[in-house]
């Protein structure tokens, strides 16, 4: 074959060509755009006419010739072959059937090669007559783990939604998930749903944000475009849920109406209103109140509610304006988020257990702590120490060390101290779950000096739980100055505390005096009834007096029985 430059308008179409159905307008437009951008990459194949004409007949490349004419090309390169007996029918069929489109991975690699050679995404899109979003989608594959790409290149591709989730995850996360779901020799197919599900992360969308760029910058929110979303909507998102919700909370605080309150949503996603409040579904009155809250998707929602009218009092009518008084004090984002409170509970518990294990404790203090431990609000008992929570198994082991080989209760004070410390560790807990002992655990921690055992909280994980004011307050007594962006302030503190020790004030074992006073009041002994029914002074015990049966397994004691018991005790 030889190459010749020929006017495409002089070429004759082959009446025996294989492809006779019309190509789609989209594919014709794509071919035209590529010819305009880079010319004809693969020259059409032609042969001299055999019917006496002096021209050339097209054997393959009819569409290329037509689009070259449409592009206004005066000459194109063609490959001139020898005439065939079948008029090029077999050559045309083979050329069409053997062709295979590039898979997405090869398309991406080709695009990355063009980018490396200096092509812009816009230029590539024009040359290939593809939307710029399609080019960006293919370039998402640059974020996919290489071993996953190699598998995808074999033809086993995830769908667009799954690919989006995979590409949004870090390479380290992809590596861990791929280990669990990579194909085996017996089953070469990958469960892309499982891979994507293992990498799925909660997304908060910019279209749901009430705050603007100033708060987004302050909270270090970097929007990422969802290239697989419809083109007619704002598809930017972030996976930094804490920062998004913090910015939403701060926006609500800045834009709260005069009679507004910030509240929460309940487990069903509905707004929690103040007690006795009734929601207003129609047009609100001037005397009505406004409640702002975040729904399950992090969107700011606004509802109106009405409080019952205050009853007018006789005389000077002091209660007439009671309905206009503030119902609830609105609160901005808390200094420490719920996750932060849970982290403090875990850190406190670890420190408390460490102190109970190693700190010097007097024997009388140890016995007092035992009483405190079993008065905690978690006494069923639900242990915060982890492992088997069943009372018999855990506490039976501690009691067993007090027995000798013959099954007799025989121990020295050292053994007793070890057993008491172990029981205290299993009972006392500050964790934010069913094992929490309440304020008594803080009292115990203060007594044994558990503050000195608290782990450093100057980490990214904990500091991300602090509000902006709380984070900036943590800069006090440090050379770190608050930055314009919360994210930068947090990074500077993490770096500063990497070689030091930081404990947030809210984590210290300092029981609230008011809460402790309320606890003492609610648990104070009640006169003679408590003295008689629960404690008998050993010094005044009469050995000949009958011992009344106790009713520890009942919640209600018959009054006649209680009166008789008091008389016997007296």
**Minimum mean pLDDT range among 12-26, 84-98, 284-298, 466-480:** 84-98
Note whether 220 and 285 are same-domain residues. Answer: yes
186 Cβ contact partners less than 8 Å away, ≥ 6 residues apart: none
Q: How confident is the model at residue 544 (pLDDT cuts 50, 70, 90)?
A: very low
Of 97, 128, 160, the position where a domain reaches its end is 97
Mean pLDDT of the chain: 77
Q: How confident is the model at residue 385 (pLDDT cuts 50, 70, 90)?
A: low
Contact between 306 and 288 under an 8 Å Cβ cutoff? The reply is: yes
Q: What is the pLDDT of residues 342-362, one digit of tens each?
A: 888 888 888 888 888 888 888
Q: Which of residues 256 and 538 earns the better pLDDT score?
A: 256
Q: How confident is the model at residue 536 (pLDDT cuts 50, 70, 90)?
A: very low
Residue 86 sits in a domain of what CATH number?
A: 3.90.1530.10
Note whether 303 and 362 are same-domain residues. Answer: no
Q: CA-to-CA distance for 166 and 176, rounded, in angstroms?
A: 12
Contact between 474 and 504 under an 8 Å Cβ cutoff? The reply is: yes
pLDDT of residue 93: 55
- 270 lies in a domain? yes
- 495 lies in a domain? no
What's the rounded mean pLDDT across residues 106-132?
78
Note whether 409 and 369 are same-domain residues. Answer: yes
Q: Which of residues 129 and 343 earns the better pLDDT score?
A: 343
Of 310, 330, 352, the position where a domain reaches its end is 310
Note whether 402 and 294 are same-domain residues. Answer: no
Note whether 435 and 363 are same-domain residues. Answer: yes
Q: Which of residues 30 and 557 earns the better pLDDT score?
A: 30
Note whether 255 and 355 are same-domain residues. Answer: no
pLDDT at 210 over 90: yes
Note whether 352 and 273 are same-domain residues. Answer: no
pLDDT of residue 552: 40
Q: What is the pLDDT of residues 407-440, one digit of tens each?
A: 776 667 787 788 788 888 888 889 888 888 888 8
Note whether 6 and 48 are same-domain residues. Answer: yes
Domain carrying residue 343: 338-454+503-507
pLDDT of residue 449: 92
Note whether 354 and 430 are same-domain residues. Answer: yes
- Number of domains the chain contains: 4
- 113 lies in a domain? no
- 548 lies in a domain? yes
Of 97, 117, 134, the position where a domain reaches its end is 97
Q: What is the pLDDT of residues 213-227, one digit of tens each?
A: 988 988 888 888 876
For residue 5, give Cα distances in angstroms to 8, 31, 73, 368: 9, 20, 11, 103
pLDDT of residue 117: 81
Q: How confident is the model at residue 442 (pLDDT cuts 50, 70, 90)?
A: very high
Sheet of 2-6, strand order = 2-6, 76-80, 45-48, 56-60
- 193 lies in a domain? no
Note whether 296 and 361 are same-domain residues. Answer: no
pLDDT of residue 211: 93
- 166 lies in a domain? no
SS3 154: coil
pLDDT at 193 over 60: yes
């Amino acid at each position: 074959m030889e190459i010749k430059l020929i006017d495409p308008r002089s070429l004759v179409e082959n009446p025996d060509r294989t492809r006779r159905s019309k190509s789609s307008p989209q594919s014709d437009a794509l071919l035209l755009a590529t010819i305009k951008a880079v010319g004809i990459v693969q020259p059409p194949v032609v042969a001299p006419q055999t019917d006496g004409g002096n021209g050339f007949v097209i054997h393959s490349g009819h569409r290329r010739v037509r689009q070259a004419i449409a592009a206004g090309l005066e000459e194109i390169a063609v490959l001139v072959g020898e005439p065939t007996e079948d008029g090029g029918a077999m050559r045309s069929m083979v050329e069409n059937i053997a062709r295979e489109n590039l898979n997405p991975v090869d398309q991406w690699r080709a695009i990355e090669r063009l980018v490396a050679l200096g092509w812009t995404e816009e230029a590539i899109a024009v040359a290939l007559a593809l939307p710029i979003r399609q080019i960006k989608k293919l370039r998402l594959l640059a974020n996919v783990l290489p071993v996953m790409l190699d598998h995808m290149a074999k033809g086993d591709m995830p769908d667009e939604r799954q690919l989006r989730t995979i590409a949004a995850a870090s390479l380290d996360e992809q590596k861990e998930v791929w280990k669990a779901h990579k194909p085996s020799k017996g089953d070469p197919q990958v469960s892309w749903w499982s891979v994507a599900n293992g990498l799925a992360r909660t997304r908060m969308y910019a279209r749901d944000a009430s705050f603007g760029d100033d708060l987004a910058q302050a909270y270090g929110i970097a929007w990422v475009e969802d290239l697989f979303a419809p083109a007619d909507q704002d598809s930017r998102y972030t996976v930094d849920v804490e920062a998004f919700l913090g910015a939403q909370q701060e926006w609500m605080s800045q834009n709260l109406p005069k009679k507004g309150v910030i509240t929460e949503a309940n487990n069903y996603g509905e707004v929690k209103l103040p007690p006795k409040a009734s929601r207003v579904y129609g047009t609100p009155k001037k005397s009505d109140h406004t409640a702002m809250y975040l729904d399950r998707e992090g969107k700011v929602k606004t509802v109106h509610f009405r409080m019952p009218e205050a009853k007018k009092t006789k005389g000077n009518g002091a209660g007439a304006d009671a309905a206009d008084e503030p119902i609830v004090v609105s609160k901005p984002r808390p200094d420490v988020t719920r996750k932060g409170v849970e982290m403090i509970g875990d850190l406190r518990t670890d420190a408390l257990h460490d102190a109970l294990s190693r700190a010097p404790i007097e024997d009388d203090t140890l016995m007092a702590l035992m009483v405190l431990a079993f008065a905690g609000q978690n006494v069923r008992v639900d242990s915060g120490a982890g492992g088997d929570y069943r009372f018999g198994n855990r506490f039976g082991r501690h009691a067993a060390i007090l027995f000798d080989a013959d099954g007799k209760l025989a121990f020295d004070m050292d053994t007793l101290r070890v057993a008491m410390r172990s029981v205290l560790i299993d009972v006392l807990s500050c964790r934010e779950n069913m094992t929490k002992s309440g304020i008594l655990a803080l009292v115990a921690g203060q007594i044994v000096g558990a503050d000195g055992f608290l782990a450093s909280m100057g980490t990214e994980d904990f500091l991300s739980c602090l509000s902006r004011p709380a984070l900036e307050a943590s800069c006090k007594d440090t050379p770190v100055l608050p930055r314009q962006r919360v994210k930068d302030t947090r990074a500077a503190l993490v770096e500063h505390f990497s070689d030091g020790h930081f404990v947030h004030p809210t984590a210290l074992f300092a029981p609230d005096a008011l809460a402790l006073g309320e606890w003492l009041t609610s648990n104070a002994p009640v006169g003679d009834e408590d003295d008689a029914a629960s404690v008998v002074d050993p010094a005044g015990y009469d050995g000949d007096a009958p011992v009344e049966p106790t009713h520890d397994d009942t919640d209600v004691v018959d009054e006649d029985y209680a009166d008789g018991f008091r008389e016997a005790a007296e």
